[in-house]
C-alpha cells in the first residue's frame, strides 16, 4: 500500500504528503468498530483520513470530526474529505488532541494511536510523530476521550496486545471499561499481533473473539473478505 493514492469503492485516498500510509490496522479499526446509529463520530489522529471516510460511509447519518496534529497530513485529509461523496459530513481539526475543545460529546470515538513510547526513533520527524507517544501519551488519550464520550457512547482503539493491556489499566482509572476485544492473527500459525478494543462507561462482561486474516495458503479468509466487502475494490 505504498502508492501515492489508494482507490476504495466509493472514494480515493491521496497519501503522498502523509508519513503513515493506509494500513491494515486502519481498515480493521474502521470496519470492526461497532456502534448503533452514532450521530457524532470523532477520529483521533486521522492521518490520511481513511478511518473517518470509512466510518462516514458506514454510518450514513453521522457527522464525523477528524483530528490531526501534522499540518501536511491534515491538509491532505481535508483534500481527501472534500473530494469524497461524504464531504458535507466531514470536518477536520488541525492541532493537538489535548487542545481539542470539550464543548460537545461524541457517540463514537476511534483512534489508531501511536504506540512506541520507547522505540528507537528514525530521522523522519513526521514518522516519529505518527508512531511514538511523545505527542500523545496513553494517559492523555484516555483522559480526554472520557471527557468527550457521551454517556452511552463507545471508544474503540487498535493496538498490539501489550499496549492494549496498558491501555485497559489506564482506562479503568477514567471509568472506561473494556466490553469487547477482537484479537487479530495474520494467519493460523502466527501469534496475535493486534487487538481492537471497545470501551464504554458500562462495566459489563467482556466479549472476546478472534479474527484470522489469511488461511494456510495465505489467501484472505472468508471472515476477512466479508469485512472488506463494500470498501476495497474486488470485494
Q: Which of 71, 76, 89, 32 has its CA nearest to residue 50?
A: 76
| Alpha carbons 148 and 107: distance in angstroms, whole number | 9
Cell of 102: 470539550
pLDDT at residue 118, rounded to an integer:
52
- Average confidence (pLDDT) over 179-195: 97
| Alpha carbons 221 and 227: distance in angstroms, whole number | 10
Q: For Cα atoms 144, 106, 22, give the angle at the middle one, nearest 5 degrees.
A: 80
pLDDT at residue 194, rounded to an integer:
97
Domains and CATH numbers, the chain: 5-228 (3.40.50.150)
- Say yes or no to pLDDT of 126 above 50: no
What digits encode the pLDDT tens for the residues 188-202? 999 999 999 999 999
List, in order, residues 6 or more apart from 123 with CB less than 8 Å away: none
| Alpha carbons 27 and 52: distance in angstroms, whole number | 11
**Containing H/E element for 52?**
helix 50-58
CA 11 to chain centre: 18
Cell of 114: 501511536
Whole-structure pTM value? 0.90
What digits encode the pLDDT tens for the residues 216-235? 999 999 999 999 999 998 88
- Say yes or no to pLDDT of 130 above 50: no
**Percentage of residues in the chain with pLDDT exceeding 70?**
91
| Alpha carbons 166 and 198: distance in angstroms, whole number | 14
- Say yes or no to pLDDT of 133 above 50: no
List, in order, residues 6 or more apart from 149 with CB less than 8 Å away: 105, 106, 109, 155, 176, 200, 201
Amino acid at each position: 500500500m505504498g502508492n501515492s493514492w489508494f482507490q476504495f469503492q466509493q472514494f480515493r485516498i491521496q497519501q503522498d504528503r502523509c508519513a503513515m500510509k493506509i494500513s491494515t490496522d486502519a481498515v480493521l479499526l474502521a470496519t470492526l468498530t461497532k456502534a448503533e446509529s452514532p450521530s457524532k463520530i470523532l477520529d483521533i489522529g486521522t492521518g490520511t483520513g481513511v478511518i473517518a471516510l470509512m466510518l462516514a460511509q458506514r454510518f450514513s447519518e453521522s457527522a464525523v470530526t477528524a483530528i490531526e496534529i501534522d499540518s501536511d497530513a491534515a491538509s491532505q485529509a481535508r483534500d481527501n474529505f472534500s473530494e469524497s461523496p461524504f464531504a458535507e459530513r466531514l470536518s477536520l481539526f488541525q492541532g493537538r488532541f489535548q487542545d481539542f475543545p470539550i464543548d460537545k460529546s461524541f457517540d463514537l470515538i476511534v483512534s489508531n494511536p501511536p504506540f512506541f513510547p520507547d522505540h528507537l526513533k528514525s530521522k523522519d520527524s513526521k514518522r516519529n510523530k505518527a508512531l511514538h507517544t511523545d505527542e500523545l501519551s496513553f494517559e492523555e488519550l484516555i483522559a480526554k476521550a472520557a471527557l468527550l464520550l457521551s454517556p452511552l457512547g463507545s471508544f474503540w482503539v487498535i493496538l498490539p496486545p501489550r499496549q492494549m493491556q496498558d491501555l485497559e489499566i489506564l482506562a479503568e482509572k477514567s471509568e472506561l471499561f473494556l466490553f469487547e476485544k477482537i484479537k487479530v492473527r495474520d494467519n493460523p500459525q502466527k501469534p496475535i499481533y493486534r487487538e481492537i478494543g471497545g470501551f464504554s462507561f458500562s462495566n459489563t462482561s467482556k466479549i472476546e473473539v478472534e479474527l484470522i486474516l489469511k488461511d494456510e495458503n495465505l489467501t484472505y479468509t472468508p471472515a476477512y473478505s466479508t469485512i472488506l466487502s463494500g470498501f476495497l475494490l474486488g470485494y
